[in-house]
Each structure stands twice: as C-alpha cells, then as structure tokens.
A = this chain, B = another copy of it.
Amino acid sequence: MDIGTRRDSGKHTAILQAAIQVISQAGYHNAQISRIAREAGVADGTVYLYFKNKEDLLLSILRKAIGEVVLQLEQALPTEKTAEWKLRRIVEIYFQDLSRDPALAMVTQVHLRQVDAELRRQVGDIMKPFYNLLDGVIDQGVREGVVDGAISHRIARRMIFGTMDETVTAWVLTGSKYNLPALAPEIVRVLLYGISRRDDVKEEVTL
C-alpha cells in the first residue's frame, strides 16, 4: 500500500485534508471513514487504496505535520550560528507552522492522543527527527558554554518540548484566537532562564 511519492490524481492529498478537517471537528473516534471519504469526494473503499487503515491515516497526518516542521527547520537552522538563536528559530517555526493550519494543530495536539499503546510507539518514531534536532541544539549550547552541561539532556529536552506542547495545546483548545507565534520570544526567555528575575541581564532577549 506504499503508494510512494507520486500522489496520483491528488486523491491522496484530498483524503488527508478531508481527514484533518473531519477529525479536528469530530475527534478521532467520531470521524467515520465514510464521512472522510464523502468530504474528500471519493468512495469509502478508495480510502483503503491510499491508506492501510484508519490508524495509518492518523499517523500520516502527524508525519505530514512533523515532516514539514523538520523540513523547514533543516533549512532554517544552518542559517543561525548560536544555539540560542537556533532554539529561537525552533520555537518560532514550530509555532508558525502549527498556527498556519489550526485544524491540523487540533489533530496533532488533541486527537492524536486518543489512541492506544501500539500506536503511541509509532508516534514516538515519527517525533524522533524533531527530538534529534532539539538534542543537537542543546549539545551545541553546551559546547558554546551557554547551556549548563550539568543538566540532563533528557530533562532539558522535555522541558522545551513540554512547554511548547502545553502552549500550543492551550492555544488550540481556546479556539486558536490569539497570535501564537507572538508568544515565541517570551517562551524562549523562560526556556533559557526559567521564571526567575534576572537583574544581571546584559543582553536581554529581544526579537
């Protein structure tokens, strides 16, 4: 069922888009294949020509979303020299990409969690490249001397991802009303320096 890179007559994309719309509105368990098919303008059976099953459809959405973020990051990060500025770009691009398609964000942030153990493992695989990028930046930060080498990489990564994740989820659940990317600078500030007051700031975080 690996259709490959050719997207045929656009049906692959149409079904994926329809799935994002339907799932974002109704949730994974209430998103019937028949409704997704109708929305995409194809027959029920056609969905199974492009996706192995409903679960695969959900994972494909995540792959697409994370794939795009990673792709953009791979292009943008080399531009930045310091780890600090790379982290800044990560948060910005992550927020920008997700805020560009609220329905997609709703699916990845909320409905994707509504799945069972087996699926969760695959979600981890898909997130890998993104986690690796984060780890790379933390590494560089330590080498540069701006990130505390004593902090566990795992903990650092989880704080960064956990904070971004919680922020996007809150944004999505409150209706995607405010400007998400605008929060990036303040987020980066707490990631770098925590919530503590800093009188000794020389070069303040600006954007």
Interface residues of chain A, those whose CB is within 8 Å of chain B, are: 26-27, 29-30, 110, 113-117, 120, 138, 141, 145-149, 151-152, 154-156, 158-167, 170, 173, 183, 186-187, 189-198, 200
Contacts and interface: CB of A to CB of B under 8 A. Distances in A.
B190 A156 contact: yes
Given A114-B113, A115-B114, A195-B159, A151 B189 contact: yes
Nearest to A30: B116
B195 A191 contact: yes
B193 A196 contact: yes
A102 to B, nearest CB: 14
A146 B197 CA distance: 5
A197 B147 contact: yes
A166 B159 contact: yes
A151 B195 contact: yes
Contacts of A187: 155, 159
Given A146-B196, A161-B166, 10 more contacts: A30-B116, A120-B173, A155-B167, A155-B190, A156-B190, A156-B195, A158-B167, A163-B163, A166-B166, A193-B196
A35 to B, nearest CB: 15
A166 B162 contact: yes
A195 B149 CA distance: 9
A200 B197 contact: no
A193 B165 CA distance: 20
Nearest to A167: B158
A194 B197 contact: no
Contacts of A190: 151, 155-156, 159, 194
Nearest to A113: B113
